[in-house]
Amino acid sequence: MKKIIGLIICLALVVILKNPISIGMMYVVDFIGNTFNITTVEVIDFLNEIYYL
């Protein structure tokens, strides 16, 4: 029973924190792309799709 409650709490946290995590990851990917002059369009598009789910 404790495992089920733990799983439900984890899923609830992922649902609640999905958008802040996506925005934070977009910032990190953009920073790395600008620092190392790497194209990160595909990664940003993927994170954008996750954000708008």
DSSP string of 12-48, one letter each residue: HHHHHHHHHHHHHHHHHHHHHHHHHT---HHHHHHHH
Q: Please return the burial class of 47, using the count of CB atoms within 10 Å of its CB with bins 0-12, 13-18 and 19+.
A: buried
pLDDT tens digit string along 1-53? Answer: 899 999 999 999 999 999 999 999 999 999 999 999 999 999 999 999 989 98
Q: In this structure, is residue 4 part of a structural domain?
A: no
Predicted model pTM = 0.74
Q: How far apart are CA 28 and CA 35, in angstroms?
A: 10
Q: In this structure, is residue 3 part of a structural domain?
A: no
Q: In this structure, is residue 12 part of a structural domain?
A: no
Q: In this structure, is residue 10 part of a structural domain?
A: no
Q: In this structure, is residue 6 part of a structural domain?
A: no
What are the backbone dihedrals phi and psi of residue 52, each rounded to the nearest 5 degrees, phi first?
Answer: -95, 10
For residue 46, give its domain range.
17-53
Q: In this structure, is residue 46 part of a structural domain?
A: yes
Count of the separate structural domains present in the chain: 1
